[in-house]
C-alpha cells in the first residue's frame, strides 16, 4: 500500500492566483452595484425632500438641517423637517429592513415565495398591532413590541409545523401562506367591529403608509436596524450554506435547523419596520430578485436592502404626486407595481426550475 | 525519503488497521419505519468502500447515518481519524465537518453561483467567527480544483456546465473540505457511461494519492466490483456480506443480494468480477 497520511503539497501558485482572480471578479461587480444603489437611495431621498408640490432649493437644505432661519422661504424649514424629511427617512429605513429581511428569507428557504410579506410574518406583526391598538389602546413602544411578538409567534408556528421533515423549508412556506390568509381576515374582522376612528388608524396596518412618520418612530426604527444589521450579517454566513440544501449545510457544520433559526433576525427586522409603516406590499418580496439581477445572479442582502429603500421612497413620492389631488399610500403604489412584477418573477423562477 | 517522520505511518503497520469509521448495532428509522436494522459495519481507513444492494435496501440511509444526517435510534457510529477516536454524535458539528465530508445525491444549486464560489463553500468548517477567508482557503480550493480538473472553469456559472463537469465541481467542494473521510451518495447518477468512469477514476486517484478514505453508494454492481477495495452488501436493511470484491462477488452472492440469476466472469480489462445477469423471463434472449 502506498496510501499515506502526509499533508498534501501546496497548490501551484498559478492555480492559487487563478482561484483568487476568479473569486474577486463577482465581488467587484457586487461592490459596484452596492455603490450605485447607495447613490440611488441617497438621490431618491433628496428627490423626495426637495421636489414635489413645494420645491425646496438644494442650497437651502443645509441651513434647514442646521436649524438656521431662512428669510426668503419662511415655511421651508417646517415643511422639510416635519413632513418631507421624516417621510423620506422612514421610507428609506423601512425599505432597507423589508429588502434585507425578504432576501434573507428567500435565500435561506430557497424559495422566491418565502418572503415575510407573503408568508404571514408581516401580517402577524400587523394583526398583533391592530389588536393591541383597538382592544388594548396600545400606544408608543407597545405597538412595535406587539408587532414583533406577533411576527415571532407566526414564525415559531411555521417552524414548529415544518420541523423534522426533509421539506421543512417548503412546508414553512405553505403553512405561512395559509397563516397569512387567516391573519388578514382577523384584521378585517377587527376593523368591522371597531369605531370608525380606530378603523381608520388600523387601515395603515393593511396597506402600509408613511403617514405616521414622526421623529420618535424614525429613531426607534433606526436604532433597531443598527442593532440588527450586524447580527444579520453573521447569520448571512448560515444563509450561504442553507442555499446548498439541508444535507450539505449539515455536513458542512451548520445543521439545517440552525440556519432557519437565523431567520429570527429577519423576522424581527420585518416586524419592527411593519410596526412603523404597516406591511408595504411586495417590497420584501421583490427587492431580493431585483438585487439578484443587478448583482449578476447572486443574492446579496445589502443590495436587496438598498433596492428596498429606493423602491419605497420613490413609490411614496409617486403616490403623492402621480395622480393630481389624490394621495395614495405607499403600499397601494408598491402593490400596483408589485403584482405584475411578482408574476414575472414566478414565471422566470418556473423556467429556471425546469432548465 | 530522507526525512524522519515520527507520525504514526499507519499503512506500514502489519495486521488489521483501525477502521476509519465503524458502526455497531446501528439502527436507523425513517418516519417510524426501521430502514437499517442492527448493522455492524467497518469502513477500512485509506480504502475505497462501496455500498451496494437492491433499491430500498437502506444504502443511502446508511450513508446518512454515517454523516450525522440521521440520528440512530439504537447503536452508534465511531470515527477514528487523526488518531482521535470518538462517537460521531459527541463531536461539534464543525469538528465533525473537518473530518467527514458528504456529497448528497443531487444537492440544490445556489442561484447564479460560479464554480470557484461553490467550491469555496466547502471551506466553511475551517472558518471561525474571527477567521474568515484566508490564503490557506485559496490554497485548498486551488488544490481541490486542480485535482478535479475544474480550474479552467473557475469563473464559469455552475448552471451552464455539463452534467459531468458539474459533478466534478461538487466533488471539488467536498475535497476543499479537506477531510480524511469522503462519503458520496451515488456520485454517478444522471451521468453517461463515459462520465461515470471519469468520476470513479477521479475518486480512486484521490484515494490512491492522498489516502482519503472513500465510501460511496453505487447502483451498478459491476462498477462497484471494479472500483471498490471493500464491498458492503445490504438487503432489507441488513448486512448480507462484506469484503474484497474478488472474494465476495460470485453467482451465489448476486442471488442472495439481488435475487438475480447470473454468471460471474473475470472482467477482461481489470480482472475484477463481472456480473452478467441471466434473463429473468424465459423468452428473453432466446429468440429462435
Q: Which pLDDT belongs to residue A10? A: 61
Q: How far is B46 from chain A (nearest CA, A)?
A: 6
The confidence band for A136, taking pLDDT boundaries of 50, 70 and 90, is confident
Cell of B250: 460470485
pLDDT at residue A326 tops 60: yes
Burial bucket for residue A286 (CB in 10 Å: 0-12, 13-18, 19+): buried
What does the pLDDT average to over A138-160? 83
Tens of pLDDT, residue by residue over A209-243, are 888 788 888 998 999 999 999 998 888 888 888 88
pLDDT at residue B235 tops 70: yes
Q: Which pLDDT belongs to residue B3? A: 41
Residues of A in contact with B115 (CB under 8 A): 22
Query: Domains along chain A?
Result: 50-348 (1.10.3470.10)
Mean pLDDT for chain A overall: 83
Ramachandran sector of residue A223 (left: φ over 0; alpha: ψ -120 to 50; beta: rest): alpha
Task: Return residues 63-92 of B near A (CB < 8 Å).
Answer: 67-69
Helix boundaries (H) for A51-167: 58-66, 76-79, 85-108, 121-135, 142-162
CB contact under 8 A, A241 and B124: yes
The confidence band for A173, taking pLDDT boundaries of 50, 70 and 90, is confident
Q: What is the pTM of this model?
A: 0.85
CB contact under 8 A, A22 and B115: yes
Query: Could you say which DSSP state residue B129 is in?
Result: S
CB contact under 8 A, B46 and A3: yes
Q: Is A230 on the interface with B (CB under 8 A)?
A: no
Q: What 3-state DSSP class applies to B274?
A: strand
Tens of pLDDT, residue by residue over B26-85, are 999 988 888 999 999 999 999 999 999 998 888 999 999 999 999 999 999 999 887 788
Report the candidate in A74, A55, A82, A77 with the shortest Cα–Cα distance to residue A66.
Answer: A77
Tens of pLDDT, residue by residue over A93-124, are 999 999 999 999 999 888 888 888 888 888 89
Check if the beta carbon of residue A59 is closer than 8 Å to that of residue A42: no
Q: Which pLDDT belongs to residue A351? A: 59
Residues of B in contact with A239 (CB under 8 A): none
H or E element in which residue A32 lies? helix A13-50
The confidence band for B282, taking pLDDT boundaries of 50, 70 and 90, is low
CB contact under 8 A, B125 and A20: no
pLDDT at residue B183 tops 90: yes
Q: Which pLDDT belongs to residue B200? A: 94
pLDDT at residue A15 tops 90: no
The confidence band for A57, taking pLDDT boundaries of 50, 70 and 90, is confident
Q: Which pLDDT belongs to residue A196? A: 79
Q: Is B199 on the interface with A (CB under 8 A)?
A: no
What does the pLDDT average to over A192-199? 78
Q: How far is A6 from chain B (nearest CA, A)?
A: 8
Q: Is B120 on the interface with A (CB under 8 A)?
A: yes
Instruction: State ipTM.
Output: 0.87
Of all residues in chain A, the one with the smallest CA distance to B132 is A237
Q: Which pLDDT belongs to residue A168? A: 61
The confidence band for B101, taking pLDDT boundaries of 50, 70 and 90, is very high
Q: Which pLDDT belongs to residue B286? A: 46
Residues of B in contact with A20 (CB under 8 A): 138
pLDDT at residue B13 tops 60: no
Bridge partner residues of B262 (DSSP): B277
Bridge partner residues of B33 (DSSP): B30
Q: Which pLDDT belongs to residue A264? A: 86
* Helices (runs of H) and strands (runs of E) counted in chain B: 9, 12
pLDDT at residue A9 tops 70: no
Q: Which pLDDT belongs to residue A82? A: 81
- The DSSP code sequence of B140-164 is HHHHHHHHTT-GGGTTSBGGGS-HH
Q: What 3-state DSSP class applies to B197?
A: helix
Q: Which pLDDT belongs to residue B53? A: 92
B108 closest CB neighbour out of A1, A12, A110: A110
Q: Which pLDDT belongs to residue B1? A: 39
Query: Could you say which DSSP state residue B106 is in?
Result: S
Q: How far is B254 from chain A (nearest CA, A)?
A: 29
Amino acid at each position: 500500500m502506498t496510501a499515506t497520511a502526509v499533508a498534501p503539497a501546496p497548490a501551484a501558485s498559478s492555480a492559487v492566483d487563478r482561484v483568487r482572480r476568479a473569486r474577486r471578479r463577482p465581488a467587484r461587480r457586487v461592490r459596484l452595484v452596492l455603490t450605485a444603489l447607495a447613490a440611488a437611495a441617497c438621490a431618491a431621498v433628496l428627490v423626495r425632500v426637495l421636489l414635489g408640490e413645494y420645491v425646496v432649493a438644494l442650497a437651502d437644505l443645509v441651513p434647514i438641517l442646521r436649524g438656521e432661519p431662512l428669510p426668503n422661504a419662511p415655511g421651508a424649514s417646517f415643511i422639510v423637517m416635519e413632513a418631507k424629511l421624516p417621510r423620506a427617512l422612514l421610507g428609506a429605513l423601512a425599505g432597507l429592513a423589508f429588502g434585507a429581511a425578504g432576501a434573507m428569507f428567500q435565500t435561506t428557504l430557497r424559495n422566491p415565495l418565502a418572503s415575510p410579506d407573503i408568508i404571514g410574518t408581516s401580517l402577524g406583526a400587523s394583526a398583533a398591532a391592530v389588536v393591541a391598538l383597538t382592544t388594548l389602546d396600545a400606544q408608543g413602544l407597545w405597538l412595535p413590541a406587539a408587532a414583533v411578538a406577533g411576527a415571532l409567534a407566526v414564525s415559531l408556528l411555521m417552524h414548529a409545523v415544518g420541523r423534522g421533515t426533509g421539506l421543512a423549508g417548503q412546508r414553512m412556506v405553505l403553512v405561512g401562506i395559509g397563516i397569512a390568509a387567516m391573519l388578514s381576515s382577523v384584521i378585517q374582522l377587527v376593523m368591522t367591529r371597531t369605531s370608525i376612528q380606530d378603523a381608520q388608524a388600523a387601515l395603515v396596518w393593511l396597506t402600509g403608509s408613511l403617514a405616521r412618520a414622526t421623529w420618535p418612530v424614525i429613531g426607534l426604527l433606526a436604532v433597531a436596524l443598527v442593532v440588527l444589521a450586524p447580527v444579520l450579517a453573521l447569520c448571512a454566513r448560515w444563509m450561504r450554506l442553507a442555499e446548498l440544501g439541508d444535507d450539505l449545510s449539515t455536513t458542512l457544520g451548520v445543521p439545517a435547523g440552525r440556519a432557519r433559526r437565523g431567520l429570527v433576525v429577519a423576522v424581527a427586522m420585518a416586524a419592527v419596520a411593519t410596526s412603523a409603516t404597516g406591511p408595504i406590499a411586495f417590497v420584501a418580496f421583490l427587492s431580493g430578485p431585483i438585487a439578484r439581477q443587478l448583482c449578476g445572479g447572486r443574492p446579496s442582502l445589502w443590495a436587496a436592502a438598498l433596492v428596498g429603500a429606493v423602491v419605497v421612497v420613490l413609490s411614496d413620492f409617486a403616490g403623492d404626486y402621480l395622480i393630481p389631488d389624490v394621495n395614495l399610500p405607499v403600499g397601494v403604489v408598491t402593490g400596483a407595481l408589485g403584482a405584475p412584477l411578482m408574476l414575472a418573477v414566478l414565471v422566470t423562477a418556473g423556467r429556471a426550475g425546469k432548465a | 525519503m530522507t526525512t524522519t517522520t515520527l507520525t504514526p505511518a499507519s499503512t506500514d503497520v502489519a495486521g488489521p488497521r483501525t477502521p476509519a469509521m465503524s458502526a455497531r448495532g446501528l439502527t436507523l428509522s425513517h418516519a417510524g419505519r426501521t430502514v437499517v436494522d442492527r448493522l455492524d459495519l467497518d469502513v477500512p481507513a485509506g480504502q475505497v468502500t462501496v455500498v451496494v444492494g437492491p433499491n430500498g435496501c437502506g444504502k443511502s440511509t446508511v450513508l446518512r447515518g454515517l454523516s450525522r444526517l440521521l440520528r440512530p435510534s439504537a447503536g452508534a457510529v465511531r470515527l477514528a481519524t487523526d488518531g482521535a477516536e470518538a462517537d460521531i454524535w459527541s463531536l461539534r458539528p464543525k469538528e465533525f465537518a473537518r473530518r467527514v465530508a458528504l456529497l448528497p445525491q443531487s444537492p440544490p444549486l445556489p442561484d447564479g453561483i460560479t464554480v470557484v464560489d461553490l467550491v469555496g463553500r466547502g471551506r466553511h468548517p475551517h472558518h471561525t467567527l474571527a477567521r474568515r477567508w484566508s490564503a490557506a482557503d485559496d490554497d485548498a480550493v486551488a488544490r481541490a480544483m486542480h485535482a478535479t480538473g475544474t480550474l479552467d472553469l473557475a469563473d464559469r456559472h455552475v448552471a451552464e456546465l455539463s452534467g459531468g463537469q458539474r459533478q466534478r465541481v461538487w466533488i471539488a467542494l467536498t475535497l476543499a473540505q479537506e477531510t480524511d473521510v469522503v462519503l458520496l451518495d451515488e456520485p454517478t447518477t444522471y451521468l453517461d457511461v463515459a462520465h461515470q468512469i471519469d468520476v470513479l477514476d477521479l475518486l480512486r486517484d484521490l484515494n490512491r494519492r492522498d489516502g482519503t478514505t472513500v465510501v460511496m453508494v453505487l447502483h451498478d454492481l459491476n462498477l462497484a466490483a471494479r472500483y471498490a477495495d471493500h464491498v458492503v452488501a445490504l438487503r432489507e436493511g441488513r448486512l448480507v456480506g462484506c469484503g474484497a470484491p474478488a472474494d465476495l462477488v460470485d453467482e451465489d452472492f448476486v442471488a442472495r443480494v439481488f435475487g438475480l440469476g447470473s454468471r460471474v466472469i473475470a472482467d477482461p480489462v481489470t480482472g475484477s468480477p463481472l456480473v452478467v445477469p441471466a434473463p429473468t423471463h424465459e423468452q428473453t434472449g432466446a429468440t429462435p
